[in-house]
């Protein structure tokens, strides 16, 4: 975990590069979340909808980006977290999770840090962007 003194505006820890996505990752996430949309696991269904194949459930990447933040600051220190979906991630994609400090301040006796987050594909495309506010004990 980073300390207050480490967290200057612009500070960015090492990004996390994930294993290439597999359809089984999508299916496991769907089972855990209850989102059984076949577009994420049935290639024939995805093709009929106009896609070249199945694609990742967006919240799978969002959850992994959230884990990047909680591994950095601890789950009890997250005050806000959000994402915006930008482009799909496909089987075989290798996603990289990264973040940087964009603001730090003290409010009501707490040290707060705002983060800008992103999840990119190996192509350079942005799968999703995100933001978070955390407290630094």
Q: Computed over its alpha carbons, how large is the radius of gyration of the chain?
A: 17
Q: Which residues of the chain have pLDDT under 50?
A: none
Query: 4-20+58-135: which CATH number, 3.90.1150.10, 3.40.50.720, 3.10.129.10, 3.40.190.10?
Result: 3.10.129.10
Task: Give tens-digit pLDDT for 82-117.
Answer: 999 999 999 999 999 999 999 999 999 999 999 999
- pLDDT of 133 reads 98
Integer CA distances (angstroms), 51 to 21, 22, 33, 93, 126, in order? 17, 17, 23, 16, 18
pLDDT given for residue 7 in this prediction = 96
């Amino acid at each position: 975990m980073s300390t207050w003194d480490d967290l200057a505006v612009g500070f960015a820890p090492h990004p996390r590069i994930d294993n290439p996505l597999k359809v089984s990752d999508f299916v496991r996430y769907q089972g855990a979340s209850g989102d059984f949309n076949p577009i994420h696991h049935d290639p024939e269904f995805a093709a009929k909808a106009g896609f070249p194949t199945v694609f990742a459930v967006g919240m799978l990447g969002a959850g992994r980006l959230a884990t990047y933040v909680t591994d950095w600051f601890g789950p009890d220190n997250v005050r806000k977290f959000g994402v915006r979906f930008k482009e799909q991630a496909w089987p075989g994609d290798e996603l990289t999770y990264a973040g940087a400090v964009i603001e730090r301040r003290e409010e009501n006796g707490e040290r707060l840090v705002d983060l800008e987050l992103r999840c990119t594909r190996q192509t350079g495309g942005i799968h999703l962007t995100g933001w978070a506010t955390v407290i630094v004990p």
